[in-house]
Structure 1
Amino acid sequence: MAKFIATFFLMLVAYAPVFSQTLAYVKNSSFDAGEVLRYKLKYGFITAAEATLQVFDSDIKFGGKPAYHLVALGRTYSAFDFFFKVRNRYESYIDKTNYTPFMYAEDIKEDNYRRVDKVKFNQTERKITGNEGTFTSPVSQTFDMVSAYYFARNLDLTGIKPGDQLTLTYFLKDEVTPLTIEYIGKEVIKTAKGKIRCLKFSPSISPGRIFKKNSQLFLWITDDENRIPVKAQAEVIVGNVTMEIADATGLKRPLQIVK
């Protein structure tokens, strides 16, 4: 369950050709300070957890550059804590101009497992420094799982076609990793906010303790200028897990609801 919460953020990936050195982005941001997105996570028919994503203006500047402060929270509901208790907090400070991260921090509490980390990014030198030392990235834009989500929302999808495969490079747990995703097509889905036109993607996943050999993972984002993920769904070893949007406030632009 906790692994899926983390995977959810990683699914929100950049839309650029595999092995691209520079990912193009739109300068008119899809989000602004004050935005709050809330999601519910369901295991089968059971609502087990929630995730919240927030955007703040930061008082901290990095090399004189202004930054957004992004906060993502993931937690199980009290009724589910008996099975597996999660209280996770992820934070990222990103450049307001190009949306790449300056710094990332995580405070993970998953049952008896604890992990606290603080990561610094030097995009110019392609260096990432974390708990276990300094790592080198093959590209000049490397993300943590929170900044990846917000960067992805600002990418230009003009010309994308079903079957196109895309990628983004991220740093997690002391490892630099590429994540590949396939664009499936357009679809209208029903959400707590109403019916919404969406773009559908299928991120790559590795079988193991969470996912089955032939498991598929799907992500739907709004087909508008907000580019908000509204649903994610995956097959796991036993059953299905779904993340659905519960509320969205402080949006830069109104959601386009299908009448």
Structure 2
Amino acid sequence: MKKFILVAVLLSAFSGNTFCQEMVDMVTPVFKVGEQLNYKLKYGFFTAAEANLRVEATDRKFDGQPAFHIVADGKTAGAFDVLYKVRNRYETYIDEKTLMPYFYTENRHESSYKHTDNVTFNHDSDKITAAKGVFPFKGKVFDFLSAYYFSRGIDASKLKIGETFDLKYFLDDGVHTLSITYVGKERLKSDLGEFNCLKFNPTIIPGRVFRKDSKLYLWITDDENRIPLKAHVELIVGSISMELTSAKDLKYPLKPISK
């Protein structure tokens, strides 16, 4: 069951890593303080977990610069909450102009398992300090939350079908690379209506959770907001999907084709 919950978390991580073909020095935020996104994670037909992402105001500054405070909460639901209770929180502070991360923290409670980590990004020395040590890095490296919010501001209009690109992110014990392939455009129905979407296929590693031929697909709204509408991945047994259930205080109006 622990592996299942980790997969659900990874879906949220992947959702933010989809537009970074070439990193740019600065992007314009397409979100604002007060934005809230809510998701449900389903195992087959059953709702297994819920997630909330929000942008909060903060007086905290880094190197004298103001920052956005971004928080993500995840918890199990229904029968899954009885079988394997999860209460996870992830937070990041990112520069209001560059959207690069300064500080990331996670607090995970998964049944009897507990884990905390505090990660500091020093962009002057190109070093990341975390619970497991100090890690050098080059170029732009993110935690999964900052990657998501940075990515939303990058122009995706020049992507070609079949094009694959990489994104660097820090997770637990080092800097990793995620490869993503652009699949194309697709209309997708949801609880909030039908939307034009950009579809992506991040690489996953087969193992105890994924089949050798498992595919992970992501659908991102093809509008000014660029928010993940849905994700779907096949497991050795069954499948998991992530679906947007509500979106509040967006910087730009949500524009469904129909509702």
Matched, 1:30 2:30: yes
CA deviation digits over 1:199-220, x for unaligned, max 9?
0000011112221111000000
Stretches (4+) displaced over 4 A: none
1:8 matched residue in structure 2: 11
The question of whether the paired residues in 1 share the 8 Å contact of 2:27 and 2:154 is answered with no
Cα-Cα RMSD: 1.3
Give unmatched runs, 5+ long, in structure 2.
Answer: none
Any idea what SS the aligned residue of 1:80 has?
helix
Any idea what SS the aligned residue of 2:181 has?
strand
Q: Count how many residue pairs are aligned between Structure 1 and Structure 2.
A: 254
Percent identity of paired positions between Structure 1 and Structure 2: 46
2:215 matched residue in structure 1: 216
CA deviation digits over 1:173-220, x for unaligned, max 9?
111101110000000100111001000000011112221111000000
Give unmatched runs, 5+ long, in structure 1.
Answer: none
Q: What letter matches 1:167 in structure 2? A: D
TM-score by length of 1: 0.94
Matched, 1:179 2:182: no
Q: What letter matches 2:145 in structure 1? A: V
2:147 matched residue in structure 1: 148
Q: What letter matches 1:45 in structure 2? A: F
TM-score by length of 2: 0.94
Q: Distance in 2 between matches of 1:180 and 1:204?
A: 6
1:235 matched residue in structure 2: 234
Q: Distance in 2 between matches of 1:135 and 1:175?
A: 7
Q: How many angstroms does 1:65 deviate by?
A: 0.6
Q: How does 1:79-158 map to 2 (within 5 A)?
A: 79-137=79-137, 139-158=138-157
Q: Distance in 2 between matches of 1:3 and 1:232?
A: 15
Matched, 1:254 2:257: no
1:53 matched residue in structure 2: 53
Which piece of structure 1 moves more, 240-249 or 110-119?
Answer: 110-119
Any idea what SS the aligned residue of 2:10 has?
helix
The question of whether the paired residues in 1 share the 8 Å contact of 2:27 and 2:99 is answered with no
